[in-house]
Amino acid sequence: MKQATIYSIAQALEVSASTVSRAFSRPDLVKPEVRERVLATARELGYAPNRAARGLATGRTGLYGLLVPDVTNPFFPPLIRAIQQAAARVDAGVLLVDSEGSGAAETALVSRIKAQVDGLLVASPRLATAKLKEALGAVPSVIINRAAQGLATVVCDNTAALREAATHLHDLGHRRFALMRGPSASWAAGRRAHAIRSWAQEAGVSLAELGHYEAVFVDGRRAAAQIVESGATAVFAFDDLMAAGVIAGLSDLGETVPRDRSIIGCDDVLLARTMTPGLTTVTAPLEELGRQSVLALHGLLEQRPVPNVQLQGTLTVRGTTGPPP
């Protein structure tokens, strides 16, 4: 059966194609009774509007591009899911692209897809803000999890939760802290480091700063030796993945967590919940991040002014204990 068009429906009902079109895109402009009949026969004929045709006529594709640096980093899947859901709610599809962690690739990918989407959601971009802006050009975009002057952003602030975590460890008796810094180009890494550094200063406790490391498991594992060397009993890993790496690395060296040291992760990805024992970490509101990003992009597309949004991470305590005697 040939795919139905507005014309087949129009013909069947002896109305004009415009009426059928309006029944779908501007229902209020068509007499309720007629509208009903149109919708009914549309259903019968299995009609679905042709997106390409609509796109050609309106200049809208109904697609949001989503650019992530690494789908396999457990931080992203929940975000992707939330975005996909929220997008569906405004009748948009999600075109997913993975930049494989390369800033250069980001530029290429952005220019490659910006022609086929209505707007772009760029998660944790590696690119410097200036280059990013240049690549984005005039495509409506929202930047997720990164500050970017002059661009719409949706970020998560973990400062309060990290300070709370630090206090928690301090209360348990820890006095020697270490901070494993994330990638030097990462905005989030900078923020997190700053939060912990300033807490340590205020609290007057010693803080060994290690890294920068890449935010991957093996880097955490390799870093274990430096942690032991630092003498810290309480460790802030850049994220959960690194925390898992540290735990593995410490185990390689014969230590057990949290018996010998306490590790704090960040993001509360699946990993953190499925480890045994569980990982104390800062839970990122990924659902909300996704939802807000889509809302922002949608607003942008409707020419509405969109405020930058800042969400808060929250502390989730799981395995932490006091330092060994």
> Rule CB under 8 A: which residues touch its own copies?
3, 48-53, 55-56, 61-63, 70-72, 74, 76-78, 80-81, 84-85, 88, 93-98, 111, 113, 115-116, 217, 241, 244-245, 247-248, 251, 270-271, 273-278
Q: Looking at 1, 12, 31, 320, which residue binds DNA (CB under 7 A)? A: 31
User: Taking CB under 7 A as the rule, does residue 57 contact DNA?
Assistant: yes
Partner interacting with residue 128 (select from DNA, its own copies, none; CB below 5-8 Å by kind): none
Nearest distance, CB of residue 39 and its own copies, angstroms:
16
Nearest distance, CB of residue 60 and DNA, angstroms:
8
Round to whole Å and give the CA distance between 231 and 207.
10
Nearest distance, CB of residue 263 and its own copies, angstroms:
11
Q: Looking at 12, 40, 50, 323, which residue binds DNA (CB under 7 A)? A: 50
User: Taking CB under 7 A as the rule, does residue 320 contact DNA?
Assistant: no
Number of other CB atoms surrounding residue 306 within 10 Å: 19
Partner interacting with residue 30 (select from its own copies, DNA, none; CB below 5-8 Å by kind): DNA
Round to whole Å and give the CA distance between 174 and 323.
6
**Cβ(255)–Cβ(283) below 8 Å:** no
Round to whole Å and give the CA distance between 212 and 277.
27
What are the DSSP E strand ranges found in the chain?
A: 63-68, 93-98, 119-123, 141-144, 152-157, 176-180, 206-210, 234-236, 262-264, 281-283, 309-312, 314-316
The burial of 119, by beta-carbon neighbours within 10 Å (0-12 exposed, 13-18 middle, 19 or more buried), is given as buried
User: Taking CB under 7 A as the rule, does residue 112 contact DNA?
Assistant: no
Q: Looking at 15, 90, 95, 160, which residue binds DNA (CB under 7 A)? A: 15
User: Taking CB under 7 A as the rule, does residue 71 contact DNA?
Assistant: no
**Cβ(209)–Cβ(179) below 8 Å:** yes
Nearest distance, CB of residue 16 and DNA, angstroms:
3
Stretch that binds DNA, among 54-62, 89-97, 218-226, 299-307 (CB under 7 A): 54-62
Round to whole Å and give the CA distance between 84 and 124.
17
Cα dihedral 262/266/267/272 (nearest 10): -20
Round to whole Å and give the CA distance between 278 and 280.
7
Nearest distance, CB of residue 82 and DNA, angstroms:
28
The residues binding DNA (CB under 7 A) are 3, 5-7, 14-19, 21-22, 24-26, 29-32, 34-35, 47, 49-50, 53-54, 56-58
